[in-house]
Amino acid sequence: MSKPLNIGMIGYGFMGRAHSNAYNRVSNFFELDYHPVLKAVCARSADQVKAFAEKWGYESTETDWRKLIERKDIDAVDICVPNNLHKEIALAAAAAGKIILCEKPLAMNAAEGEEMCQAVEKAKVTNIVWYNYRRVPAVSLAKKLIDDGKLGRIFHYRANFLQDWTISTDLPQGGTALWRLDAAAAGSGVTGDLLAHCIDTAIWLNGGIKDVNAMTETFVKERTHQLTGKVEKVGIDDACTFMCHFDNGSLGLFESTRYARGHKALYTFEINGEHASIKWDLHDLHRLEYFDHRDEGRLRGWRSIHVTDAGGDHPYMDHWWVPGLQIGYEHSFVHQVADFLTGLGKGEPVGPTFRDALETQKICDAVLSSAQKGSWVKLG
Ligand SMILES: NC(=O)c1ccc[n+]([C@@H]2O[C@H](COP(=O)([O-])OP(=O)(O)OC[C@H]3O[C@@H](n4cnc5c(N)ncnc54)[C@H](O)[C@@H]3O)[C@@H](O)[C@H]2O)c1
């Protein structure tokens, strides 16, 4: 018999839906020691949060996140709100002894992130950050191939995350749905939002980063703020490109923008090793491209691995359909919940923990600082 884990989720936007879907699905597809119970959801509008609770199966609602944290019947707090609220909620949840699942980026900056790490470590509460791309089966397979030494020594790591939704100069900043354009709510622009994903995947696959050299640009300098109605200076980076050295001696190149016309969520990475290379593309997330120089010459070439084998070779796939049938974006969240609950059952931490995610936060800080100074910045 699996034990209940009572979830209290704060925020019901994009991630609120992705997480709720994962909590609802996970026990149907994974045998786990714990099963999530959708105990309460919190957001500021009483009517809207009630409608959300009914739609997704939450037992109750709150309109003040502090009340949700105070509740004795909540075991785990899931933070799905804009970045400027992560720290305050996490500190309160840790003090109340709750398990914490926090959306990425961990915090507005590394100083806040460090405070959050200390709080969860002092309170000894289990914690995880939703860098969900690690758990796309093709990305998990890339990790296994690298760890098994298939690529040999790694020379290059290249990643892009490209979008085009902020090109219009008429787009306001701030407030509902547009908080990502407001530095006070988001902390930074594409660096904390999109590059943070690329960095988390990169350090998971290829190890730590030693130093960075970055440039950022804010193409639209002023926008009307939705909350104040005034034209205000834009404080976020619209685009960011950086190069870096990894601890293993390989070179990294990262680019992210919201001004790449035609691209909606083009997250790609390519890794070039001594023996083999791999490529992955979020738009085709169930495939991993692989080239192995050691293949017989007349057959050598890029192969496109359809990561859908349920026989145990492809991570997570034996929990889903028959071989050949693919899964999608939402399943990365289901996998994260499954792994998290497995760890909870065993009493073992599951990454990325707050401490793991702090590493990404430090790199984001270094990237922004390098762009500001116009020089290389070393990681501590
Ligand atoms: N893992 C990923 O791939 C991924 C993708 C998107 C967003 N995120 C992260 O998830 C978090 C939320 O992003 P989103 O896209 O879901 O945003 P969103 O704008 O869709 O939703 C934010 C939610 O927070 C609620 N909220 C705001 N202030 C609140 C308060 N004081 N009390 C209670 N609720 C409040 C809003 O009502 C809304 O429901 C951010 O940290 C973001 O970076 C992660």
Q: What pLDDT score does 210 carry?
A: 98
The answer, yes or no, to whether residue 309 has pLDDT greater than 90, is yes
- End of a domain among 116, 133, 150? 133
Q: What pLDDT score does 177 carry?
A: 87
Is 379 within a domain?
no
Say whether both 149 and 162 belong to one domain: yes
Predicted confidence band of residue 312 (pLDDT cuts 50, 70, 90): confident
The answer, yes or no, to whether residue 316 has pLDDT greater than 90, is yes
In the chain, what are the helix, strand and coil shares in percent, each to the nearest 5?
40, 25, 35
Q: Is the CB of 161 under 6 A from ligand 1?
A: no
Say whether both 148 and 254 belong to one domain: yes
Nearest to 36 by CA among 378, 362, 353, 333: 333
Domain count, the chain: 2
Q: End-to-end CA distance of the chain, in Å?
A: 46
Say whether both 193 and 334 belong to one domain: yes
Is 380 within a domain?
no
Is 211 within a domain?
yes
CATH number at residue 123: 3.40.50.720
Give residue-wise pLDDT tens across range 33-92.
Answer: 999 999 999 999 999 999 999 999 999 999 999 999 999 999 999 999 999 999 999 999
Say whether both 182 and 265 belong to one domain: yes
Q: Is the CB of 12 under 6 A from ligand 1?
A: yes
R_g (Cα) of the chain, nearest Å: 21
DSSP letter (8 states) at residue 173: B
Percent of the chain predicted with pLDDT > 90: 98
Give residue-wise pLDDT tens across range 197-213.
Answer: 999 999 999 999 999 99
Angle in degrees, CA 16, 167, 223, rounded to 5: 85
From the CA of 181, how far away is ligand 1's center (Å)? 13
Residue bearing tokens 């609950």: 341
Predicted confidence band of residue 1 (pLDDT cuts 50, 70, 90): confident
Instruction: Read off the pLDDT of each residue in 313-317 and give the average, rounded to a whole number.
Output: 96
What residue numbers bound the domain in which 261 lies?
134-350+358-373
Residue 140: enclosing H or E segment and its boundaries? helix 137-147
Predicted confidence band of residue 291 (pLDDT cuts 50, 70, 90): very high
- End of a domain among 85, 102, 133? 133
Give residue-wise pLDDT tens across range 143-198.
Answer: 999 999 999 999 999 999 999 999 999 999 998 889 999 999 999 999 999 999 99
Q: What pLDDT score does 232 carry?
A: 96
DSSP letter (8 states) at residue 225: B
Which of 103, 128, 361 should be mutated for ligand 1, with most atoms under 8 A from CB? 103
Residue bearing tokens 């609220």: 85
Say whether both 207 and 279 belong to one domain: yes
Q: What pLDDT score does 310 carry?
A: 87
Instruction: Read off the pLDDT of each residue in 116-127 and give the average, rounded to a whole number.
Output: 98
Q: What pLDDT score does 380 carry?
A: 84
Pairing between β-strand 266-273 and β-strand 3-10 as defined by DSSP bridges: unpaired
Say whether both 183 and 252 belong to one domain: yes
Q: What pLDDT score does 135 carry?
A: 98
Say whether both 58 and 166 belong to one domain: no
Q: Is the CB of 316 under 6 A from ligand 1?
A: no
Q: Is the CB of 81 under 6 A from ligand 1?
A: yes
Q: What pLDDT score does 149 carry?
A: 98
CA distance 142 to 205: 8
CA distance 342 to 126: 12
Q: Is the CB of 174 under 6 A from ligand 1?
A: no
Predicted confidence band of residue 296 (pLDDT cuts 50, 70, 90): very high
Residue bearing tokens 């999530």: 36
Q: Is the CB of 104 under 6 A from ligand 1?
A: yes
Say whether both 194 and 267 belong to one domain: yes
- Retrieve residue 276's tokens: 């083999």
Say whether both 239 and 340 belong to one domain: yes
CA distance 30 to 59: 23
Prediction pTM value: 0.98
Instruction: Read off the pLDDT of each residue in 115-126 and give the average, rounded to a whole number.
Output: 98
Say whether both 126 and 82 belong to one domain: yes
From the CA of 86, how far away is ligand 1's center (Å)? 10
The answer, yes or no, to whether residue 285 has pLDDT greater than 90, is yes
Which of 10, 15, 42 should be mutated for ligand 1, with most atoms under 8 A from CB? 15
CATH number at residue 161: 3.30.360.10
Nearest atom in ligand 1 to the alpha carbon of residue 79 is 11
Provide the 3-class DSSP secondary structure of residue 345. helix
Q: What pLDDT score does 202 carry?
A: 98
From the CA of 132, how far away is ligand 1's center (Å)? 15
Instruction: Read off the pLDDT of each residue in 268-295 and give the average, rounded to a whole number.
Output: 98
Is 303 within a domain?
yes
Q: Is the CB of 119 under 6 A from ligand 1?
A: no
Say whether both 18 and 102 belong to one domain: yes
Q: Is the CB of 175 under 6 A from ligand 1?
A: no
Is 25 within a domain?
yes
Is 284 within a domain?
yes
Is 247 within a domain?
yes
Query: What is the 3 state secondary structure string of 233-285?
Result: ECCCCCEEEEEEEECCCCEEEEEEECCCCCCCCEEEEEEEECCEEEEEEHHHC
Atom 23 of ligand 1, residue of closest alpha carbon:
11
- End of a domain among 133, 155, 178? 133
Q: What pLDDT score does 12 carry?
A: 97
Phi, psi of 209 (to 5 degrees): -110, 135
Mean pLDDT for the chain overall: 97
Is 378 within a domain?
no
Nearest atom in ligand 1 to the alpha carbon of residue 193 is 43
Give residue-wise pLDDT tens across range 346-374.
Answer: 999 999 999 999 999 999 999 999 999 99
Q: What pLDDT score does 311 carry?
A: 86
Q: Is the CB of 79 under 6 A from ligand 1?
A: no
Say whether both 148 and 222 belong to one domain: yes
